Amino acid sequence: MALIRLSGISRHYEMGSQLVRALDEVDVEIERNEYVAFVGSSGSGKSTFLNILGCLERPTLGQYYLNGAHVEELDHNQLAEIRNREIGFIFQSFNLLPRANALGNVMQPLVYRRIGYRQRREMATEALRRVGLEDRMDHLPNQLSGGQRQRVAIARALVTRPAILLADEPTGNLDSRTSTEIMYLFDQLHAEGQTLILVTHEEDIARHCGRIVELKDGRIFRDRQRTEAAH
């Protein structure tokens, strides 16, 4: 069974008398260990789609199965648990806690688990080592470069060992060299078996992925494997 299966997923917003179809009957399946980029022009529905995948938003219509669970049927607590267990989310603007150092930020998602402080600290240290930041654990976000902040955010997303890593424009605030470094890190995670789904405007970024899905006006316009997409 596919790790992710969406059928007929729509997200509508009522704006006065106007109905905005941010997503309009999207069907898509994503297997374990796929590396997928969602692309498309501004307003095409990319973030809405990713927020639904990450259970941050609920669809207006349609069915979403995540790792065997039927997401629409989960109550509030079950949804929070599945978010914590299955999903790591990475944002363009990092979304770190400004008053917590790198270690504290990475430990934060583990607070909801029934594990002791010492083990949480060990897991967070390991995740920071994984992204090459073992020597920056005591730094606050504003004492880190943009690329380092995004690495902290990636460590925070990885520390719970989620089934899926979701990233919305993860390199959108980074220069091109730092973007390439972050993409190499994603490439390595993918090679180690991680399932990765990202949203991007940039062709250079999408080219790292094995599959490129293009959204247009809330619908899937094109869905290509990279071998076909290369030209």
Ligand X SMILES: Nc1ncnc2c1ncn2[C@@H]1O[C@H](COP(=O)(O)OP(=O)(O)OP(=O)(O)O)[C@@H](O)[C@H]1O
Which residues are at the interface with Mg ion (CB under 5 A)? 47
Strand 35-39 relative to strand 195-199, pairing: parallel
Residue with smaller CB distance to ligand X, 20 or 115: 20
CB of 8 to ligand X, least distance (A): 18
CA-based angle 34:2:182, to the nearest 5?
A: 20
Q: Are 179 and 7 in contact (CB under 8 A)?
A: no
CA distance 116 to 95: 25
**Which residues of the shown chain bind ligand X in the complex (CB under 6 A)?**
13, 15, 20, 22, 40, 42-48
CB of 224 to ligand X, least distance (A): 18
Residue with smaller CB distance to ligand X, 38 or 186: 38
- Of these partners, Mg ion, ligand X, none, which one is at the site of residue 45 (CB under 5 to 8 Å by kind)? ligand X
* Two structure tokens written together for 29: 């399946």
- Of these partners, Mg ion, ligand X, none, which one is at the site of residue 20 (CB under 5 to 8 Å by kind)? ligand X
CB of 68 to ligand X, least distance (A): 27
- Of these partners, ligand X, Mg ion, none, which one is at the site of residue 208 (CB under 5 to 8 Å by kind)? none
- Of these partners, ligand X, Mg ion, none, which one is at the site of residue 1 (CB under 5 to 8 Å by kind)? none
Residue with smaller CB distance to ligand X, 103 or 199: 199
CB of 196 to Mg ion, least distance (A): 17
Q: Are 74 and 65 in contact (CB under 8 A)?
A: no
Sheet with strand 211-216: strands edge to edge? 87-90, 164-168, 195-199, 35-39, 211-216, 219-225
Residue with smaller CB distance to Mg ion, 47 or 171: 47
CA distance 49 to 66: 14
CB atoms within 10 A of CB 223: 14
In the chain, DSSP finds a helix count (H) and a strand count (E) of 8, 10
- Of these partners, Mg ion, ligand X, none, which one is at the site of residue 42 (CB under 5 to 8 Å by kind)? ligand X
Residue with smaller CB distance to Mg ion, 42 or 176: 42
CB of 142 to Mg ion, least distance (A): 25
